[in-house]
Amino acid sequence: MFFIGKRYIKYDILDIGDIFADYLLKNMMDKIYQPKTAEEKWYKFWEEGGYFKPNEKNKKPFTIVLPPPNANAPLHMGHAMYAVEDIMIRYHRMLGDSTLWLPGADHAGIETQYVFEKQLAKEGKGRFDFSREQLYQMIWDFVQQNRSTMENQLRRLGFSLDWSRLMFTLDPKIVKIVYQTFKKLYDEGFIYRGQRLVNYCTKCGTGFSELEVNYVERNDPLYYLKYGPFTIATVRPETKFRDTALAVNPKDKRYQKYLGKTLEIPGLLGNIKMMVIADPEVDPKFGTGIMKVTPAHDPHDFELGKKYNLPITPIIDFNGRMNFSWYLSQKKTPKKYKQRAEKYHGKKVAEARKLMVEDLKEDGLLLKVDENYSHRIGTCYKTGTVLEPLPMEQWFMKIPELSKTALNAINKGKIKFQPQRFKKTALDWLKNFHDWNIGRQIVWGIRIPAWKCQNCQRWIITAGEIPRDCPNCQNTNLVQDPDTFDTWFSSGQWPFATLKSTRPGDFEKFYPTSVMETGYDILPWWVCRMIIFGLYVTKKVPFSTVYLHGIVRDSKGQKMSKSKGNVVNPMELVEKYGADALRFSLIYGTKAGADQNLSEDKVRAMRNFANKLWNIARFIELNIQGQKIEFIESKKKFSSFGKETKECTWCYETLNEALSMAKTITKQMEQYKFGQAAESIYAYTWHKYADLRLEAAKKMLQENLSDTPYVRGTLLIVLEKILRLLHPFMPFVTEEIWSEMKQYFANQPQNPLIVESWPK
């Protein structure tokens, strides 16, 4: 529809004159908004035009370093939440700040090698079929092929990243900084090598830190075993071959007379001697109040073993199998026991346990079984495999002392949290961090710069350079540690490592960064460690604000997983509804730190909103082409129009309503209430501007009175303000409309919307 003079005309493009029809076709907006066409066009224009680079002339910096997605796979729905960062970036860019959003990719050590090994398994091969160098190169090639897919998907979602500063966690500059940090920590006594129990995944073939253990509730049989004069309860009878003591609570009167005594305890492979020791951690009410101590297979028992100088010899190997080599090598082993040992030897733990239970029954050592004992067990977060606590010599990082600096910075308000409740979560984690085993037994990653002298057995630590000889004995036979750094060790240095590696002056200008935005589920794993590393290396906090978003769940509120078959591919939704629709659906009505259920219906509704915005703009364009347009200042009184007509009343109310809306949304943006801001702009645009103001304007435009040019101008002013306010949320459709309408906006520069100012 459009208006000529005072007449309201419905038209078909085929019914009007050829010359006028040709003019309309060339100069009017398309009838339907085409997201894919607009997205491809505008992203290319923005990127090639350098609009994502920080304006170096502006002094006030605003910086976000992108949490680097794994380079080994396409994006998942959680990555689409980067929309929160893009909203902040585009908002501050429009405010005129020198805005930098630095992109990167994570080599994702264990995850990537695990994915690649699954691919090898399909070909009937494994990692041990290749040399270290061959395997590393194969994974490198695999990652490079997938990186481009991931990066192009970030572009499809409209994320305005400065691609000229793209970083990778295995970039030589990053690796050099990681090595320097390791050397500094070692020289200052925060890195040490020692044998301790680590959480070992026999399927992944590597140890994990305590933070990476996924604890799950499980029902298992609880076995009550006869131990000499005692009865003990355990879910792991297979570790009894490495029991070295029995522990009781020192206040438990039942066992006072046994404390300090050594008893001979009958077992499946003969009698063994065990001392009864005191341990205040033993719960007198659990089981029979007496616990077996297995230093080689339980973290708590390991500490007891050190206290009482107990032997630490594992019965389970790094393949998750029972190892009785020590016993079978004994010449005087009785035949019955040797046959048992041979029966257990080399078996997986679960299989060996069944055999042992039968033999315990045969020997009269199994008293009873509680079949449904509920307890928590540690599993691998990647494979779900039950982790084996195994003694291993590793590099450890002392955390408690370093955590104090981080705690102090948070308590002093140098780092703020959105939402604020996560401040307590961060403080609790930092107060309870244990020493961290930073080595992983994999090929893919940054290899630890430590060499062992094969003569004097001394370790030589460097900042990455290969030592010529041993400083202690001058021997040249040095062997590098085969382990790589835990990925969190390198990514924990990401904010300062990237800015020190991009361009000269970037670190000085953009560090500390402004906001770290990520999921709340990696607050302890990553965010807390970044705070520790940032303060240790730079003496400054790495960011001033931590914004944590929740988990994107399916429409029924379940966590997305391949096993459940409920994974939603973000790129499929983008292809179907457009990037703006997906972005807006993830933000609309969502609070910081809150999980959300994403349904296709919600994405479709936001596609409809984009279409509504397009139709609003198209309606305005149809009604202003070739017509007189007058602009007024919103602060002017009714008298500015002469007499108070219904047109001037409408203009005044419409403009002030728009100003009030802009102030509300700006306040919400400053308070990090992006979900509320999205709701506000949606409600205003659809229900106030379109349903009320535009409907009232239709009649006035039909009448075409003396003040009608001001109605047209007011429609344009408010549309311009809507486009600016909505641009950080829905950049593509707003840019497309802007480009179509900019000739009508008052005093409008020719630059794209992305570099224009936010509403004042």
Give pLDDT tens digits for 267-302. Answer: 899 888 999 999 998 999 887 899 999 999 988 898
pLDDT at 563: 56
432 vs 436: CA distance, rounded Å: 12
* pLDDT of 286: 81
Note the pLDDT tens digit of each residue in 724-734.
Answer: 999 999 999 99
Is the residue at 433 inside a domain?
no
Pick from 158-162, 189-193, 499-503, 644-648: least confident: 644-648
Domain shared by 610 and 743, yes or no: yes
Query: CATH number, domain at 106?
Result: 3.40.50.620
pLDDT tens readout for residues 154-177: 999 999 999 999 999 999 999 999
Rounded CA Rg of the chain: 34
693 with 575, same domain? Answer: no
Does the pLDDT of residue 88 top 70, yes or no?
Answer: yes
The reply to whether 115 falls in a domain is yes
Q: What is the reported pLDDT for 328?
A: 85
By CB atoms closer than 10 A (0-12, 13-18, 19+), residue 371 is: exposed
Instruction: Report if residue 349 sits inside a domain.
Output: yes
**Which residue, 165, 159, 162, 166, is CA-closest to 43?**
159
Predicted local distance difference test score (pLDDT) of residue 586 = 97
Q: What is the per-residue pLDDT across 260-276, written as a single tens digit (0 to 9) for each? A: 999 999 989 988 899 99
Work out the percent of the chain whose per-residue pLDDT is above 90: 67
Please state the rounded mean pLDDT for residues 191-196: 92
3 pLDDT tier (thresholds 50, 70, 90): very low
Q: How many angstroms separate the CA atoms of 485 and 439, rounded?
A: 5
The H-or-E segment that residue 651 falls in is helix 646-670
Residues 540 and 670 in one domain: no
Q: Which of 347, 373, 388 is the last residue of a domain?
A: 388
CA distance 347 to 16: 86
Give the domain-ending residue among 371, 388, 405.
Answer: 388
- Predicted local confidence at residue 9, as pLDDT: 27
- Both 384 and 525 in one domain: the answer is no
One domain for residues 241 and 378: yes
In a shared domain, residues 574 and 611: no
Which is nearest to 673 in space by CA: 754, 586, 587?
587
Task: Give residue 212's pLDDT band: very low, low, confident or very high (50, 70, 90).
Answer: confident
How far apart CA 207 and CA 483 sit, in angstroms, is: 10
> How far is it, in rounded angstroms, from Cα 600 to Cα 598?
7
Tens-digit pLDDT profile for residues 98-157? 999 999 999 999 889 988 988 898 999 988 889 999 999 999 999 998 888 999 999 999
Is residue 630 domain-shared with residue 543, that is, in the same domain?
Answer: no
Q: Are 687 and 735 in contact (CB under 8 A)?
A: no
What is the predicted pLDDT for the residue at 633?
A: 61
Domain final residue, candidates 546, 563, 586? 586
What CATH number is associated with residue 382? 3.90.740.10
pLDDT of 485 > 50? The answer is: yes
244 and 338 part of one domain: yes
pLDDT of residue 10: 32
Calculate mean pLDDT across residues 316-345.
88
Where residue 666 sits, what CATH number does that domain have?
1.10.730.10
Please tell me the predicted confidence (pLDDT) of residue 381. 79
Full DSSP string of 383-439: T-PBPEEEEEEEEEE--HHHHHHHHHHHHTTSSEEESTHHHHHHHHHHHHPPPEE-E
133 within a domain of the structure (yes/no): yes
Find the mean pLDDT for residues 409-424: 97
Q: Please state which of the ranges 159-168, 560-569, 591-600, 675-684 shows the lowest mean pLDDT.
A: 560-569
Q: In this predicted model, what pLDDT tens digit does every residue of 510-519 receive, in sequence order?
A: 999 999 999 9
Q: How far apart are CA 677 and CA 759, in angstroms?
A: 14
pLDDT in the model for residue 352: 93
- Does 131 reside within a domain? yes
Q: How large is the average pLDDT for residues 694-702?
A: 90
Residues 6+ apart with CB under 8 A from 457: none
Q: What is the pLDDT of residue 28?
A: 67
Q: How many domains does the chain have?
A: 3
Q: Which two tokens stand for residue 467?
A: 């030592």
Q: What are phi and psi of 665, to 5 degrees?
A: -65, -40
Q: What are phi and psi of 386, to 5 degrees?
A: -65, 125
Contacts of 759 (CB under 8 A, 6+ apart): 662, 666, 721, 724, 725
Pairing assessment for the beta strands 104-105 and 167-168 based on DSSP bridges = parallel
- Which tens digits make up the pLDDT trace of 10-22? 333 333 344 444 4
Tell me the residue type at 167: M
CA dist., res. 675 & res. 660, Å (int): 18
Q: Is the pLDDT of residue 741 over 80?
A: yes
Tokens 């007891």 belong to 304
> Would you state the pLDDT for residue 638?
44
What one-character DSSP code corresponds to residue 280?
T
* Confidence label for 203 from pLDDT (cuts 50, 70 and 90): confident
Checking if the pLDDT of 561 tops 80, the result is no
Q: H/E/C letters for each residue in 653-666?
A: HHHHHHHHHHHHHH
Range of the domain at 630: 2-31+598-755
Each residue of 677-690: pLDDT tens digit? 999 999 999 999 99
Mean pLDDT, to the nearest integer, of 604-630? 93
Chain centre to alpha carbon of residue 529: 13
- Per-residue model confidence (pLDDT) at position 629: 87
Same domain, 110 and 235: no
Torsion of CA 747, 750, 752, 758, to 10 degrees: -20
Asked if residue 435 belongs to a domain, the reply is no
Tell me whether residue 448 is in a domain: no
Tell me: pLDDT of 456 over 60.
Answer: yes
What is the pLDDT, as a whole number, of residue 26? 52
- Hey, what long-range contacts does 460-467 have (CB within 8 A, 24 or more apart)? 461/182, 461/183, 461/186, 461/187, 461/191, 462/179, 462/183, 463/176, 463/179, 463/180, 463/182, 463/183, 464/175, 464/176, 464/179, 464/180
Are 515 and 565 contained in the same domain?
yes
**Domain membership flag for residue 483:** no
Q: Are 72 and 118 in contact (CB under 8 A)?
A: no
Note whether 608 and 751 are same-domain residues. yes
Residues 251 and 339 in one domain: yes
Cβ atoms of 246 and 272 within 8 Å: the answer is no
Range from 80-94, 316-330, 402-416 carrying the lowest mean pLDDT: 316-330
Is the distance from CB of 387 to CB of 208 less than 8 angstroms? yes
